[in-house]
Amino acid sequence: MLASYQTVKGNGTHEIVIQKSRFIAHFMRATTEEEAQNFIEGLKKEHWNANHNCSAYLIGERDHIQKANDDGEPSGTAGVPMLEVLKKRQLKDTVVVVTRYFGGIKLGAGGLIRAYGSSVSEGLNAVGVVNCQLMQIIHTNIDYHWLGKVENELRQSPYQLKEISYLDQVDVQAYVEVASVDTFTEWMTNLTNGQATIEKGEVEYLETDV
């Protein structure tokens, strides 16, 4: 698993108009090529009357799946510039479809390249990008009289509180970077005078806006 990576925030759409042509960028996360293709096919059916539904996607930790499709635009003027924007932004597991409704004015090869690239770039700015940081969930089990101190200190620390479960003891769960687990454990042990039971939980990605 990667220590961190960036991807599109979620499903979203953004439209720009260039020389009377509408360029509508649609975004989605996809972790498999099948998901990406289903997204593309769905949009082609939805926008069946559009002139073009061009697409690009990057999938996998090392971007081992990369595809670009011009969907009838001159070769290299749509899908490739779209893919290049995803690469330049260093995004992973991202698929984009740009739907074009022709407005009657031809843009030429250079104009098309700029238009499709701008559609993806401006669309990403509008929809948003997130950083996914690999985190270890740490469970700190304490008696109830420790809760106030532990919660207050945790909220003022570099670590992020995930949730608190009120059981026989209080289970305080925090997101901790994998490399900082030992440091966190030592800090929490000192904070509770060694009276906390500290255990590792799941490993998951924590998303923050870029």
Q: What is the pLDDT of residue 7?
A: 98
Return the structure tokens found at 90: 């260093």
Q: What is the pLDDT of residue 39?
A: 98
Q: How confident is the model at residue 44 (pLDDT cuts 50, 70, 90)?
A: very high
Identify the helix (H) or strand (E) that includes residue 38.
helix 33-46
Q: What is the distance between the alpha carbons of residues 203 and 112, in angstroms, rounded to a whole number?
A: 43
Q: How confident is the model at residue 173 (pLDDT cuts 50, 70, 90)?
A: very high
Q: Where are the domains of the chain?
A: 8-127, 131-209
Q: How confident is the model at residue 48 (pLDDT cuts 50, 70, 90)?
A: very high
| Superfamily of domain 8-127, CATH level 4 | Impact, N-terminal domain (3.30.230.30)
SS (HEC) of 75-126: CCCCHHHHHHHHHHCCECCEEEEEEEECCCCCCHHHHHHHHHHHHHHHHHHH
Q: What is the pLDDT of residue 164?
A: 98
DSSP conformational letter for 19: T
Q: What is the pLDDT of residue 150?
A: 98
Q: What is the pLDDT of residue 202?
A: 97
Q: What is the pLDDT of residue 33?
A: 98
Q: What is the pTM of this model?
A: 0.89
CATH of 131-209, one of 3.40.1180.10, 2.60.40.10, 3.90.1150.10, 3.30.70.240: 3.30.70.240
Q: What is the pLDDT of residue 146?
A: 98
Return the structure tokens found at 146: 């420790």
SS (HEC) of 131-169: EEEEEEEEEEEECHHHHHHHHHHHHCCCCEEEEEEECCC
Q: What is the pLDDT of residue 74?
A: 98
Give the position of tokens 């997204």: 39
Give the position of tokens 């590792």: 200
